[in-house]
Structure 1
Amino acid sequence: MTVNRADTGRWIRRYHPAPDAPVRLLCLPHAGGSASYYFPFSQGLSPAVDVLCVQYPGRQDRRDEPLIDSIPVLADALADEVLMWADRPLAVFGHSMGATVAFELALRLERLGAGPLAVFVSGRRAPSRHRDSGIHLLDDRGMLAELRALSGTDARVFDDEELLRMVLPAIRSDYRAAETYRYVPGPRLAAPVRAHTGTGDPRATLDEVRAWGEHTEGGFELRTYPGGHFYLNDQIPLLLAAVSEQISELLPVQVQPGVHTR
């Protein structure tokens, strides 16, 4: 089934539709993040790549829906939705918590016979490398301090009390999902894993990121960038060029996705 529709449902945001692209890239947000975080990806990779940005429940236009505080449950819910977009090669990209969601989603897609072209993981330690951080158990002040330290949230949010009250429940729920996740040993991914990370990330050491190689039969590659947990905020051109190159290398028919820097 070929999908070319304006109505992408509750889960998918398609900011720059590219119906003729040979490949799709599904982008999964970090804890507290939303689909719009990946607008620059969509803008930079289209029209060579059809970028699909995932909107989790409980935020922005889905803020009235129940939050999901379990990564396996989130991956289960996404799998059926993503299947309809697998009519052409589909790669998956996730940053931070989104990388773990990408891993669990890819496992499910492979079991359903629609395995992804590749799994791109960013700013996240391997599933088998657990840390007991307990951030989701902090009070609001402690959680806000954590968000400030990671520098991934627009500073204006911290000055808007009403906006904070609106977004904190989703952030806490996502942190709970990420921190209570436990890897269950099982089959490794058939898809290759391509990891990207900042060299100064306090949440994922290089050794923890390299451990992603233990979770795939399809080959592993790691690329590093200057910066911390949200290195990608400052490294968009380099990151998109790398992702485009890696996708091109993996496509059955070599088509070089272009990167636009408008």
Structure 2
Amino acid sequence: MNKIMFRWCAVWIAALSVSAAAQTWDPPVGHRVTYKNVDGRELGLWILEPKDVGARDYAAERPAVLLIHGGGWVNGAPGVHNDQAKAVAAHGAVAILLQYRLLAANSHEEPRICVEDTKSAMRWIRRHASELHLDAKKIAAGGSSAGGYNAAFAAVAAGWDDPQDDLRVSARPGALVLLNPALDVHYASNLFHHDEKLSPMSYVNKDVPPMLIMSGSDDPVIHADVLRRYAAQLKAAGVRCELHIYPGQVHSFYKKEPYLSETNALMVEFLYSLGFVYR
């Protein structure tokens, strides 16, 4: 795939937010653990334990949801999805926020390292499921924009694995909850030849996990019609795909009310239907 095009897309995604220099990020909720050492850095996961729901025994195996921030692969931070993590934990699942390596703003790289770290995190969670009292078969992943790409790539595509990972441990999430996800990295231009293997949207088969997509009708980056076509293709293949397009809304619409509450409620309802959260 043309690397310049990939970075061009990333600039578009990042440009829709406040610049990284001016942006402030809330500290991530939960307690921190290191899931990986790479390039002299310790990368972290922030684990938010669930609140009690009724009389359920949370010493037993619990579901988990890994949440992955966006930012065009060049900025962003784990605390971006604090509100989503709190919503998940309020309904009995363990919410986990991901820190992953970012690309340099002036680089021409593809987001290989971002996906590698996402897959490493999924494998770390599964390897430690017993000590964390998790159900290794009920680990979902979600994210916004570039983070949605990372989650979806881990779910549907092979490759971009860290050479240090134990590939016998699956990095595939059992469900996806995606906010304005960059599922098609070619959405921004028709001027470049591309490698379809790098677009999660190129993978349509019965093995794609159940998926919830929430996006805005007027998002200039993640085109609603592209998402509609993808959802229709997945349904035709027998995959459960719920698509919610919010009229008049643009990129990152979910960060403001009433959409924050609405999208969180949809996320919880979808995960509940799959047994990944409780009421």
| TM-score for the superposition, normalised by structure 1 | 0.63
Classify 1:14/1:129 alpha carbon distance in 2 versus 1 (closer, same or farther; 3 Å): same
1:251 match: secondary structure: coil
Normalized per residue, which structure has more helix?
Answer: 1
1:7 equivalent in alignment to 2:38: no
- Total equivalences in the alignment: 202
Aligned to 1:248: 272
Choose from 11, 19, 25 the match for 2:65.
Answer: 25
Aligned to 1:104: 153
| TM-score for the superposition, normalised by structure 2 | 0.60
Report the identity percentage: 15
Classify 1:16/1:181 alpha carbon distance in 2 versus 1 (closer, same or farther; 3 Å): farther
Matches within 5 A, 1:14-163: 14=46, 16-18=48-50, 20=58, 22-31=62-71, 32-47=75-90, 48-58=92-102, 69-86=109-126, 87=129, 88=135, 89-107=138-156, 108=158, 113=170, 115-124=172-181, 126-127=183-184, 130-132=187-189
Normalized per residue, which structure has more strand?
Answer: 2
Give, in angstroms, the shift of residue 45 of structure 1: 2.4
2:84 match: secondary structure: helix
Aligned to 2:16: none
Aligned Cα root-mean-square deviation (Å): 3.6
Residues of 2 paired with 1:45 and 1:228: CA distance? 24
Matches within 5 A, 1:162-177: none
Residues of 1 paired with 2:123 and 2:108: CA distance? 20
Aligned to 1:223: 244
| Contact 1:117–1:251 (Cα < 8 Å) also in 2 | no
| Contact 1:129–1:208 (Cα < 8 Å) also in 2 | no
Give the residue type in structure 1 aligned to 2:241. F
Residues of 2 paired with 1:68 and 1:40: CA distance? 32
Residues of 2 paired with 1:83 and 1:202: CA distance? 34
| Contact 1:28–1:94 (Cα < 8 Å) also in 2 | yes
Give, in angstroms, the shift of residue 112 of structure 1: 5.0
Aligned to 1:200: 218
1:256 match: secondary structure: coil
Residues of 2 paired with 1:113 and 1:217: CA distance? 23
